[in-house]
Every structure is written in structure tokens, then in C-alpha cells.
Structure 1
Amino acid sequence: MLFDFIQRVDKGKPYIEYRLAMCRDYAKLTAVLLHNLFPNSQIYFISIPWHVAAGIKVNKKLYILDQKLPVLTLDAWLRVWNRRTATIYQLKVLDSKNKKKIKLEKCGVAKLSDPSIEVNTEKLTDEVTKLLEINQVTQKENSIVEIPPLSKLAKCYGEDEIVIYSMTRAIKLKLENELCDNINRISKIDVVQDGDNLVVKVYF
């Protein structure tokens, strides 16, 4: 179900890129959208000093949507914000005489359990090539372009289907923004890790 929402976030990128709302307003908007799309799911707010984001539980695992792709696990979100703890609140929607009331219920404090950053760049490369329908030509390429680094994207990585799916879409958006119509000329790509960042090498 979250895959469809990721595609909606993808299509809404102009709003996200220009950051027309503060993080609190954006978290509220995301929570409302998630509740409307998945009314039977558990919706959360994840808070650290000076920042808040919305999240949803899928198969008992919390995923966080923070203004732009990719979707993050709790550990990845804490890594991105250089935090070790976050306060979790659950969104409760109550029906009272056919009128819905909303309240937040504090669930507790979550802690970073895995600070390590290990990216399976081979898997990411494979997923991006599938998404862009690139054949990965093996002969000597005519030219190579290195796309500007995707800042902190390595911190977002996790061996998780939803996370990897959303990361590939984030990389696709970056390539589309940088290459425009030239994206159809790509013969091969390589995703490589550079510390906290990811770099995409594009071959024509």
C-alpha cells in the first residue's frame, strides 16, 4: 500500500522541492493524507528538537515520510538528523456524534539501534536500471557524467523493500532533473557510495 503513496509523493515533487510549508505543517498534511488513504493503519508523529515528521506502520514496522523521498526507517531517520533518540506520538482519530476528533498519544522514546551505514550499491544500481529500463551496455562507453552527489542519501539506506523502492525513485528524480531529455540516451549507470552521500555515474 505504501508503494502507491510513494508514487504520489513522487508526482508532488514541486511542492516538496520548494518547501512551501514548515516541517510541522508538512507532517500534519502527510499524516492526514496517510490517514485518508489508509484509514485502518497506525499513523505517527516522530519528534526531535526543532523538527517533526509523520510516519506509518506497515507490517509492524515504522516508516517515516519527511518532506521528500526516500521513505525512511526510524534508524535511518535518526542517522540523517544525527540524533540518537526521538519521541513517538500516535495519531488517534475519535468519532463523536459523527464528528471526528484528533488527539496525539505519546508512545515513548525510540532509540537509534544501528548507527552503521552500509549501502548495497550493486542492488541500488540494479533497481535504478530496471526503473529506467537501461540495458547496462558493457562495451566501452563514449562519455561519462558524474551526477552531483545525493547528499546524505547513504544514511537513508536500509535492507528493506519499501526503503529501496523509494530510494530508487529518489535517484530517478535526481537523474531527470540533471539530465532532462538526455536521460533517454543513458547506456549504463553505476551508483557508488561516497561517505554519507551517493554518487551516480552515468554513461552515454
Structure 2
Amino acid sequence: MSEGLEWIAREYPEGYALILCENDSASELLYRLSGRPDQGIRLTKADASLIELHNLDPELEDLDHLDQEALSAAGFLGPHISAIARVGTTPGWTFALLTNTGYVSQVDLPVTISYETRAVLHSADVNATQRVAYAVNGRMLSAFDPLHPHYNDGEDPSTLPPPTDGWRGRRKHTLAYLSAFFGVCVPSASEYEELPAAALTGPTPAG
């Protein structure tokens, strides 16, 4: 637990989405997110970011060091790609990290991936807008902005109470709160590891 989650705020200054799913394998979370089995693509954070930039403007970034034929066959290339998720495991949880919040802002992600498990989402964009959501078996139990903790959209906010004043505000405080509440950490070394990845194109399947 030495690293916790706080380092994510430092490594993703332009925004991120952290997804946690309890007791899943990496392949299970990949399927929950994309509706497709593992396509065999393994990416570092740097590679995933380059692919996302390439999809926005192919002339902006070249992918010569990557297997573009494999990426294309697996559906990772093209303007229709909303986000790329990299997935890894940590004791008791599987995690996914996205380099932007556009995808998770469009879909009710924790609900759709939480069937027969628990799912947690923390997203933060470049404008400091945050959202925390907690779902269990397809039910959104708690959902709030840590800056406005009195407004909670969940069915049972007591299952994940908003942070108290000592935790409120900055992204790293929210991450520290979630790490302590759920007893979860994500190793910072995962940023440099080639992790299983999924290309996300739209709303996720339920289950």
C-alpha cells in the first residue's frame, strides 16, 4: 500500500479516468469495457497516448515503432476510437487507466461493468472537474463531485460517503481517500509496462 493512488494525479496532469473492478482478471475487465475478448494488444502509457494522438490526426504522430498491422486488425486505429484503456491487476482489484475523460463522460460506466462485482470510477479533467462513482451489481450506489459532496446521485450514498473536509479538493486527495477507503493501490511502475489494452468506441455492454 506504499504507493496508493495519489501518483496518478501527478502523472496525468491533463486528466484521466481510473476504473477499479473487484476480483476480475485483466481479460474480464477488458471484455466488460469493450465487449470484445482480449485482442492481444499490449501497450505502455506512452504508446497508448501516441495512438490516441494518431487517431486524432495521423500526420501528427507516426507509429513506426509499433505493429500498425496488428493495431489495425484489433480495431485500435481510426477516428471512431473514443479512448484506449490499459488494464492491470493489483491485489483484490483490476484497474484500468484512460488518458482522457471523454469516453467515461458519455457512458454510465460503473453500472455497466459492475454486474456480479463492484466497480469504482474516478475521473478528473484538465479543468479540475472530478467525478467519483461507485456501483455494485449494476446499481449506482454513490456518485458525486468531491468539490460538491452534498450532491450525490447514488441510491445509497452511505456505501461510499464523500470525503470529509480533510480529503476534499485536489485530485490527489480524492485518490488518497479512495485508496484508503477500498484498501487498493496501483503500482506506478505500471505506466512503463506493456499492459493488455482495449480500444473503446461507444457504450459498454451490460455484463
Task: Please say whether Structure 1 and Structure 2 have the same fold, judged by a TM-score greater than 0.5.
Answer: no
Larger Rg: 1 or 2? 1
TM-score, normalised with respect to structure 2: 0.24
